Each structure stands twice: as C-alpha cells, then as structure tokens.
Amino acid sequence: MTAVRLRDLRPDDHDALAAGLGDRFVRTEVPQIRAGGGDVLVIAEPESDRLLGSVALDRVVPARGQAEIGCWVRPADRGRGVGTAALRALAGRAFAAGLARLELITHGEDPFGQRAAMAAGFQREGVRRGAAPNPDGGRDDLLVFTRLATDPPGPVARALPDLPGGELTDGVITLRPLTVADLDFYAALHREADVVATTVPPVPPSPAEMRRRCGWAAANWLAGQRADLVITDAATGTPAGEIGLFYQEPPTAQAMIGYSMLPAWRGRGFPTRAAQLVALWAFAETSIARLIAGALPTNLGSQRVLEKAGFRREAYLRSRLPGPDGTRYDDVQFVLLPEDVVDRLGL
C-alpha cells in the first residue's frame, strides 16, 4: 500500500481539489466542515508532496463520540491503496482524539470507495434509502460503512473474494463479474419469456431494477451476499448468459447457484461449464461447503445441466417456489459437495 502524508490545505491546492470535488466544495463546504468541528486535509506523497486526494472528517457530534469520514483520490492515483492509507490515518487521529464511531457513506455503484473502506477496517452496516438526489430527478440509496474505536485493526474479512486474475475460464467460456456496462445484455436476457418464468418470483424486472442489479453487483459481491457473473464465449468475448452464486446461509456454509442463457447460445454446454467453474472457485477460495441448485420438475434441460456438472438430485420440495397469480411451484433440488468435485475430476 502506498505511503501517504496528511497535511493542511494550501492556496496552491485549490485548482486540483476543485477539479475533482468542485469549486463550491473548496470555497463553501470546507469552511462549513471546519466550523462544525471537522477538518479537510490533503493526501500527499511523503517525499514529493504531490497532491493525491483529500480526506475529511465531518458532522462531528462530540456528545455521541461520532463523526462522518470521507475520502477522494485523483483518478490517476486510484488502485494503489491511497484512499485506504488516508482513511486509516485519519481514523487513527479521530479515535485518539476521543471519537468512538466513524461513518463512511458511499454510493452503491462506487466499488472503489467500498473497497477502500473495507480495507481500512470499515464494516458495511446498512443502506440509507433515497439518501441522495440523482441527475434524473430521483433519489439514490447510499451504503453506510462504520468503524468503532474498539474494532480490531486490519481489513474487514470478505466471504466472497475476487476472482483470481479477475475471471474464470476453461478455454471455452469465460466468467467475469457483472457490471453496469452489461445493462443492455442483461435487459435482453431478462426479457426472454422462459428466463422470466424460471426467475423467483417469475416477474420481469423493471428497467430501474435491472439498472440497480448491474450497478450494485460489485457492492453485493463485496458484501459477501452474491457473486453475479456473465458467461461469455472465450473466443469472442460475447456475452451468452449469466450465472450467480448466492451466499444465503453463511452460518451453515451453504450457497446456491442459478443460471440463464440467451437462446442463440443454448445447446453448447456453456451452463454446465459455468457451474463447474463456479463450484471449483467456491470450494477452493471460500468457506462454502455445500452448493445447491433447483429446477422446476418440468425443466428437464436444467436438471441435465446440473447432473453433468456433478450435482446430485437430493430432494423434491413441494410448493416451494412462488408462481404467477398466487400459484406455487414444486422444486427439484440438487446438491454438490467438495468431495463430489474431487471424485468427478479424479483428484
């Protein structure tokens, strides 16, 4: 992680800060933050004193021992641990001064800020619904991360780590994380009638919901809730489908997978390959000890996919899934254990 130094703002910092945070922030909000008992500091390189960003302590409430902390890093200097180092340094100062609780608030579509927060020891605590106006005239939810003076040092542990090298591949397909850039593909996939029919619940998502699923995919992954992946053709990089791992039961180390394919890419064995890649990653890189998947009794194709991937039929769950108009569907459940993967691959 890059070493940084926190120092006071100088007049020659104005242009660089205004370019990233806006002139109003530098001229108006910085004095307001200081008047409220907080401070805004420059993040600088220790030797050259080059400005890397800024970090702030705001909304200080001494009676509650609480304040809000925030960080901005110049785009060219992101990805080197600058924000994490600055947050750790300022948090240390704040706790030494007597504060007991720090909040860091970031947008759900800002994985860089979330990574910096978690690496600095801030835990995701919740969602503030409609907390920020957006350019479209609506309001966006924000994520709240917190760190207490009594929290242990070091980064927050993650239940679902990043993929090694950022992707999984077997040479035929490649799996990569879903992002907001995949919105058009995602919308096309979830307009398919049979994809909607096998979704829980079987209701097509609204445009806003599809935008949120793509935009917040990284946040959900970082939180350890789910890993949403795009199945692509390894030769061309063309999106062909999706597969998701849903970590519903961390206390029992059980997770679930689900997948969908565009019609043009069906019949090539891509879902089976995707399920195998996800299973290998989950069993090798996470604490997951049991993978489950379900299929409608009439969906023999999906059942064959799971069987080819090594899953074993385990149960027939009557009236488990919601259907249209208040109806209920039965669910055929399959399971895969680490030893099943070992047996299948001959390891």
pLDDT, one tens digit per residue, over 22-55 is 999 999 999 999 999 999 999 999 999 999 999 9
Quote the percentage of the chain above a pLDDT of 90: 91
Return the amino acid letter for 26. V
pLDDT band at 194 (very low <50, low <70, confident <90, very high): very high
Cα(124)–Cα(44) distance, rounded to whole angstroms?
27
Q: Are residues 126 and 174 in the same domain?
A: no
Q: How far apart are CA 22 and CA 31, in angstroms?
A: 14
Looking at the structure, tell me whether residues 186 and 300 fall in a common domain: yes
- In which domain, by residue range, is 63 found? 5-148
Which helix or strand (DSSP H or E) is residue 54 part of? Answer: strand 51-61
pLDDT for residue 14: 92
Q: What is the largest CA-CA distance in the chain?
A: 70
pLDDT tens track for 85-142:
999 999 999 999 999 999 999 999 999 999 999 999 999 999 999 999 998 899 999 9
Burial class (CB in 10 A: 0-12, 13-18, 19+), 167: middle
| pLDDT given for residue 346 in this prediction | 55
pLDDT for the residue 282:
97
pTM: 0.93
Co-location of 117 and 226 in the same domain: no
Are 127 and 266 within one domain?
no
Scan for tokens 């600058």, then name that residue: 82
Span 211-239, mean pLDDT? 97
| Domain end call among 148, 182, 199 | 148
pLDDT at position 347 over 80: no
Cα–Cα nearest to 107, from 226, 215, 224: 215
Residue 223 lies in a domain: yes
Q: Where are the beta strands (DSSP E) in 194-327?
A: 226-233, 239-249, 254-261, 290-295, 312-322
Q: Are residues 68 and 98 in the same domain?
A: yes
pLDDT at 344 over 80: no
Question: 247's torsion region: left (phi>0), alpha (psi -120 to 50) or beta?
Answer: beta
pLDDT for the residue numbered 199: 87
Nearest to 213 by CA among 197, 196, 226, 195: 226
Q: Is residue 157 part of a domain?
A: no
- Domain containing residue 36: CATH number: 3.40.630.30
Gap between the Cα atoms of 314 and 335, Å rounded: 6
Q: How many domains does the chain have?
A: 2
Residues 139 and 13 in one domain: yes
Distances in Å between the Cα of 346 and the Cα atoms of 287, 339, 340, 342 are 22, 10, 10, 6
pLDDT at 1: 65
Q: Kindly state the average pLDDT of the residues 263-276.
A: 97
User: Which tens digit of pLDDT belongs to each residue from 297-319?
Assistant: 999 999 999 999 999 999 999 99
User: What is the model's pLDDT at position 200?
Assistant: 87
Q: Which of 159, 141, 124, 111 is nearest to 212 (CA)?
A: 141
**Of 97, 118, 148, which one is at a domain's C-terminal end?**
148
- Inform me whether the pLDDT recorded for 10 exceeds 80: yes
- Predicted confidence at residue 325, as pLDDT, reads 87
73 and 216 in a single domain? The answer is no
Instruction: Say yes or no to pLDDT of 345 above 70.
Output: no
Peptide bond into 201 cis (omega under 30): yes
Give the SS3 label for residue 318.
strand
DSSP for 24-38, please give it: HIIIIIHHHHHHTT-
Residues 209 and 136 in one domain: no
Note the pLDDT tens digit of each residue in 270-290.
999 999 999 999 999 999 999
